């Protein structure tokens, strides 16, 4: 089985190398914005723009109009235009919103292809065109074909992201246990076994500090050095919050796919839920969408099966014992008693319904995970506890 794993490694550039890295991400941002403006101009003029035509157009004019681009590897602006074309394809396929112009200092990145002489890894260093050998915090963990290299700036730090195509054995499902997972606001995740997984509440913990930093930043004079320092301090705090959240998500999702062979989860309308002024911040602090994305790619890696229930599936209103659906169940009602006499805790009942839904539709549904299929009880299998070792900085990009 061929899979693509991406490893993000922190860079330790010298002062000269950091200047070149800033130039590279600046050229990438300029090429992307130029391609976006040119695409819009041609489209409004009745023409049919294309990614390949824009790349040829930039090649023909950059020596006269943008000679400073020659100081940066030619693949940087070319890859930026490819990214612009990919953004428009996702937009036309209704997978994302219309592309917007990039702003300096926001998700700065520059991508290099895997052409001959573009980049090379040697232990704890990487050779980048023009920039030279740059030190790494750690070695590349995967051995295989490196598909590209992307240099990113996250606040005051630099990273290199390398997707590597590796050969892996077919995953073997170690456990046939099934579990339903109900995501919520008060409790990040509730399992059908009754276990409740509390999130780190990274934003909530640092909220007062973030508000204080923001007030200090608003008082600085625009354009001053102190305002730039203040903006960096706010950005570094946001990066820390994101890292705490990602660490919890990786450890939790890895534990679940190792411990269970079948996982049931609900397809939540996260964008609609974020429209709520009262719940938006708490929902964003948990990361519902990222939780599902990590479960999807890790299930493929570890041989588990993820079954997603429709957002219209009445997981909370349905009694997990008799199957009766309650007519009304407001969000404020956390506990209720069914007509059959069964007392329910809202989140646990939803998780058990999701577990039954997953068992009914999983490819291994014939395998009974808890003695009697569809009993609604939590799993009783003897499962080897999963290691809580921190997940490596990798993301699953695709598999054949």
In angstroms, the CA 293 to CA 257 distance is 13
Q: Which residues contact 284 (CB under 8 A, 6 or more apart)?
A: 203, 274
> How many CB atoms are located within 10 Å of the residue 268 CB?
17
Is there a contact between 150 and 107 (Cβ–Cβ < 8 Å)?
Answer: no
| 6 phi, psi to nearest 5 deg | -110, 130
CA-closest candidate to residue 321, choices 368, 374, 367: 374
* Residues facing 147 on adjacent strands: none
In angstroms, the CA 138 to CA 123 distance is 8
In angstroms, the CA 274 to CA 272 distance is 5
DSSP codes, 37-58: HHHHHHHHTT----HHHHHHHH
Structure tokens at 237: 């705090």
Q: Which residues contact 119 (CB under 8 A, 6 or more apart)?
A: 112, 126, 127, 128, 129, 146, 149
Kindly give the residue spans of alpha helices, DSSP state H, lying in the chain.
15-44, 51-65, 75-92, 202-205, 207-218, 225-259, 270-273, 280-286, 288-302, 346-361
Q: Catalytic residues, which ones? A: 182, 266, 347
Q: Which residues contact 122 (CB under 8 A, 6 or more apart)?
A: 133
């Amino acid at each position: 089985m061929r899979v693509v794993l991406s490893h993000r490694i922190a860079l330790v550039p010298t002062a000269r190398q950091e200047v070149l890295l800033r130039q590279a991400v600046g050229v990438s941002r300029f090429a992307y914005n130029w391609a976006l403006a040119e695409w819009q101009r041609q489209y409004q003029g009745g023409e049919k723009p294309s990614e390949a035509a824009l790349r040829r157009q930039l090649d023909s004019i950059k020596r006269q109009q943008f000679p400073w681009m020659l100081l940066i590897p030619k693949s940087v602006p070319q890859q930026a235009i490819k990214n612009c074309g990919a953004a428009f394809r996702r937009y036309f396929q209704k997978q994302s919103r219309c592309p917007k112009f990039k702003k300096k200092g926001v998700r700065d990145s520059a991508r290099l292809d895997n052409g001959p002489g573009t980049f090379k890894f040697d232990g704890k260093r990487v050779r980048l065109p023009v920039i030279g050998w740059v030190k790494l915090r750690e070695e590349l963990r995967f051995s295989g074909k490196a598909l590209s290299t992307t240099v990113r700036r996250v606040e005051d730090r630099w990273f290199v992201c390398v997707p590597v195509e590796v050969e892996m054995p077919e995953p073997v499902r170690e456990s046939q246990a099934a579990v339903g997972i109900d995501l919520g606001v008060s409790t990040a995740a509730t399992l059908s076994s009754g276990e409740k997984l509390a999130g780190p509440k990274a934003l909530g913990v640092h909220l007062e500090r973030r508000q204080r930093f923001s007030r200090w930043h608003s008082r600085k004079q625009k354009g001053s050095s102190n305002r730039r320092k203040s903006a960096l301090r706010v950005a570094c705090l946001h990066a820390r919050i994101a890292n705490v959240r990602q660490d919890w998500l990786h450890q939790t999702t890895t534990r679940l796919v190792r411990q269970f062979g079948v996982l049931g989860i609900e397809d939540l309308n996260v964008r609609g839920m974020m429209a709520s002024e009262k719940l938006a911040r708490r929902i964003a602090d948990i990361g519902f969408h990222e939780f599902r994305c990590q479960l999807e790619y890790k299930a493929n890696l570890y041989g588990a099966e993820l079954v997603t229930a429709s957002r219209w599936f009445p997981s909370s209103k349905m009694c997990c014992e008799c199957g009766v659906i309650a007519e009304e169940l407001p969000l404020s009602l956390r506990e209720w008693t069914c007509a059959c006499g069964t007392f329910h805790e809202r989140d646990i009942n939803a998780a058990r319904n999701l577990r039954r839904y997953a068992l009914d539709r999983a490819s291994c549904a014939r395998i009974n995970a808890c003695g009697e299929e569809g009993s609604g009880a939590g799993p009783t299998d003897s499962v080897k506890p999963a290691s809580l070792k921190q997940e490596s900085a990798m993301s699953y990009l695709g598999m054949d």
